[in-house]
């Protein structure tokens, strides 16, 4: 697969912090320990820095339940509170019984590719350590750990997918392309990207002008867009077929897919015809600047579509044979 050098810096201004709840354990009338629903802020010392995340615990969860975990990552300049409010994975958590973790990027950004973007912190190692801590404290279904994110968080999602494929059952995110190379031991995992056709920051056909604006000069970037990223993922997962299938067509979006892939690791691209950089249903603070503000104008349930894709996949149902051997 050709290395993608697609870089742009997205400016977000954080809103006021939101309070969070502590975990509260109660004993119900049947004698089971249950966890009161809510957000908890948890922190660890990693790489000599305090690194934190929010953990959303679904309601009516007993201590005997082993359930999925979704990692949801914010964009540059954003934070874990804003991401919680934007994507509203809380609805998924309550309806389907899922832990949601919202990690906080150091300096509000993610190092989604070393020496390319953004920052030089070991965010990759931090996310993996965060998962270990969550697993130690909660009953996590380790065959159903998923990664998602928006913009810079989507770039980080893709880095995690290709460099820690042994951990994640699937990845699905919005508004960014793959920047890094896979681990030599990469095993194909399912991947989906959602992109607005009129994205004003991470352009659908090409991000070269935005990359140049932010001081990233690379001729290859001029050739990369949503379609190329989709095709690169198909190559990465050993997908067969000259052309993708069109599996859904609506007035405001379509979804194309490669389904015949190694280990059942399908690849999908959803194109929202009228959405810009924010493809979610919820608005983002208008004061945050370009690329923020109103969500998709036709009311597409983006978060539900992301979850529908992720939830179809489990490590238990996939063959784990590395495509690349050292």
pLDDT for 315 equals: 92
Q: How many CA atoms lie within 13 A of 86 on its CB side?
A: 33
User: CA-to-CA distance for 94 and 82, rounded, in angstroms?
Assistant: 19
pLDDT for 29 equals: 35
Asked if residues 33 and 25 have their Cβ atoms less than 8 Å apart, the reply is: yes
Torsion angle of C-alpha atoms 138, 139, 140, 141, degrees rounded to 10: 180
Q: How far is CA 192 from CA 143, 158, 224, 226, 229, in A?
A: 18, 10, 17, 11, 10
Q: For the packed helices 89-96 and 80-87, what is the interaxial angle rounded to 10 degrees?
A: 70
For 47-96, the DSSP string reads TTEEEEEEEEEPSSEETT--EEEEEEE--TT--HHHHHHHH-HHHHHHHH
Q: List, in sequence order, every residue forming a beta bridge with 51; answer none if it has no partner.
A: 44
pLDDT for 319 equals: 55
Q: Residue ranges of the alpha helices (H) in 138-214?
A: 152-163, 208-213
Phi-psi region of 152 (alpha: psi -120 to 50; beta: other; left: phi over 0): alpha
User: CA-to-CA distance for 232 and 224, rounded, in angstroms?
Assistant: 10
pLDDT for 39 equals: 87
pLDDT for 317 equals: 78
Torsion angle of C-alpha atoms 282, 283, 288, 289, degrees rounded to 10: 120
Give the residue ranges of the chain where pLDDT is below 70.
1-37, 63, 115, 206-223, 286-293, 318-326
**Where do the structural domains in the chain lie, given as residue ranges?**
25-317
Q: Is the N-terminal amide bond of 118 cis, ω within 30° of 0?
A: yes
Given CATH 3.40.50.1820, say whether it is the number of domain 25-317: yes
pLDDT for 89 equals: 94
User: CA-to-CA distance for 270 and 272, rounded, in angstroms?
Assistant: 6
């Amino acid at each position: 697969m050709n290395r993608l050098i697609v870089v742009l810096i997205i400016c977000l201004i954080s809103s006021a912090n939101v309070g969070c709840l502590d975990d509260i354990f109660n004993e119900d009338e049947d004698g089971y320990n249950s966890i009161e629903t809510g957000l908890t802020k948890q922190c660890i010392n990693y790489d000599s820095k305090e690194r934190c995340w929010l953990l959303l615990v679904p309601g009516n969860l007993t201590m005997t339940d082993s359930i999925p975990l979704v990692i949801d990552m914010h964009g540059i300049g954003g934070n874990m509170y804003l991401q919680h409010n934007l994507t509203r994975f809380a609805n998924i958590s309550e309806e389907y019984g899922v832990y949601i973790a919202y990690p906080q990027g150091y300096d509000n950004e993610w190092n989604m590719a070393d020496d390319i973007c953004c920052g030089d912190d070991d965010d990759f190692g931090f996310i993996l350590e965060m998962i270990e801590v969550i697993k130690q404290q909660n009953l996590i279904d380790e065959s159903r750990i998923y990664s998602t994110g928006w913009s810079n968080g989507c770039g980080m999602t893709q880095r995690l997918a290709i460099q820690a494929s042994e951990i994640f059952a699937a990845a699905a995110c919005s508004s960014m392309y793959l920047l890094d190379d896979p681990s030599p031991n990469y095993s194909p995992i399912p991947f989906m990207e959602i992109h607005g056709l009129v994205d004003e920051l991470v352009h659908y056909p090409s991000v070269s002008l935005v990359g140049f604006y932010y001081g990233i000069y690379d001729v290859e970037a001029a050739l990369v867009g949503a379609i190329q990223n989709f095709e690169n993922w198909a190559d990465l997962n050993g997908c067969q077929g000259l052309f993708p299938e069109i599996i859904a067509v609506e007035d405001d979006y379509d979804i194309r897919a490669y389904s015949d892939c190694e280990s059942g690791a399908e690849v999908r691209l959803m194109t929202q015809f009228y959405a810009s950089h924010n493809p979610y249903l919820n608005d983002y603070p208008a004061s945050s600047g370009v690329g923020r503000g109103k969500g998709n104008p036709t009311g597409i349930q983006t978060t539900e579509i992301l979850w529908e894709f992720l939830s179809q996949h489990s490590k238990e149902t996939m063959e784990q044979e590395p495509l690349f051997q050292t």
